[in-house]
Amino acid sequence: MKKRLPLLALMAVMIASLFGLYGCGGGPSVEEQIKTDLTSQFDRVNADDSELMDSLDEVAGEEIEQLGISSKDFMASYLDGFAYEVGEITVDEEAGTAVAKVSITIKSMADIMINFQTAFTERLGSMDLASMTEAEFYKEGGKILLEVTDAAEPKDSEIEMGYTKNEDGEWEVDDSAEAALMGAMMA
């Protein structure tokens, strides 16, 4: 069963919607601005955030529906146990860079994918494939995916989120943040 694309698409949309961040301008200290920015974005990471769910549905809704599950159900299961804490923020004003250390607790998408493949392969042996429709086959896959995701234990990761000061003097999350977050999700 080749349904890796929806999981990877869900991850990509989650990262993109999380870090299509707004620049930080004048006012509070750079550290406070970055902490506020990270907090406001990480606080959105839940299955009840309609903007996040709409983005996921746009990218992978059809594929997820083919599995007989909803993006919201999958994300509610995946994000069960999600937590974060913004730690030390180091700013180099002269270089126009900053790094925020963030502790993230999230289920490992890599573990989920491996466990899904294993569980699905095991279940294939007990399926009467000749009498199943393609839709039933995919729905069985969706059922297994939710079971595996529900059973996954969240893992702790420490990541560094880089920020740079743009030409307008605003602090924005840089490209390294996406890789750092993807690493935590796959850990």
pLDDT per residue, tens digit, the chain (187 aa), is 444 445 555 555 555 555 544 444 456 899 999 999 999 999 988 878 888 878 877 887 788 888 999 888 898 999 999 999 999 999 999 999 999 999 999 999 999 999 999 999 999 888 888 899 999 999 999 999 999 999 999 999 999 999 999 999 899 999 888 888 888 888 8
pTM value is 0.80
Burial of 145 (0-12, 13-18, 19+ CB in 10 A): buried
Look at the chain and report how many structural domains it folds into: 1
Report whether 157 contacts 184 (CB < 8 A). yes
Residue 111 structure tokens:
């573990």
Q: Which residues pair with 171 in a beta bridge?
A: 24, 165
Predicted pLDDT at 22: 45
Domain that holds residue 60: 4-186
Residue 9 structure tokens:
């698409």
Predicted pLDDT at 176: 86
| C-alpha span between 97 and 106 (Å, rounded) | 27
Dihedral sign for Cα 73, 154, 41, 58, please.
negative
